[in-house]
Amino acid sequence: MAELIYWIVVMSVVAAVGLAAVIGLRAYLNGTTPGELLFKPRVERRLGVIEHANVDGRRRLFLIKRDDVEHLILTGGPVDVVIETGIGEKRTKVASEPAQAATVFTRQPRGLGQAGSSEG
């Protein structure tokens, strides 16, 4: 009988150590502490890397998502560049409304003989 109790205690200790190791490993991989993993609710992450690709040996292209809006960023060159922003942004205009054409020219077009004049 004493031998049975001994093995139950040994197996309980092994199970407790194994459970502590699993919790510690999971907390380490998530970048938190075991206490935060066990007792604190997980906060929704606002920022994340959706996809990335190597352009060449130095430059990388990242698709970043923040608050349901994606941004395309090129890093690693002499200057980091935001290529496109607002991808997937919710549009507030109603689709049935006609879109107004944007004005391209802000001055009057010149006639055929006025190309070299300084009026404008």
Note whether 2 and 15 are same-domain residues: yes
Average pLDDT over residues 18-46: 84
Note whether 1 and 31 are same-domain residues: yes
- Considering the domain boundaries, does residue 70 fall inside one? yes
Q: For residue 52, is it left (φ>0), alpha (ψ between -120 and 50) or beta?
A: beta
Judge whether 61 and 72 are in contact, CB under 8 Å: yes
Backbone angles phi, psi at 39, to 5 degrees: -115, -10
- Considering the domain boundaries, does residue 96 fall inside one? no
Note whether 3 and 37 are same-domain residues: yes
Residue 118: what pLDDT?
53
pTM for this entry: 0.43
Question: Above 50 in pLDDT, residue 120?
Answer: no
Note whether 39 and 2 are same-domain residues: yes
Note whether 55 and 34 are same-domain residues: no
How many domains does one find in the chain? Answer: 2
Average pLDDT over residues 52-79: 90
- Considering the domain boundaries, does residue 6 fall inside one? yes
Q: Look at the block and give the residue holding tokens 């031998």.
A: 3
Neighbours of 76 (CB within 10 A): 15
Note whether 54 and 77 are same-domain residues: yes
Residue 88: what pLDDT?
76
Note whether 52 and 31 are same-domain residues: no
- Considering the domain boundaries, does residue 95 fall inside one? no
Domain assignment of residue 70, given as a range: 44-89
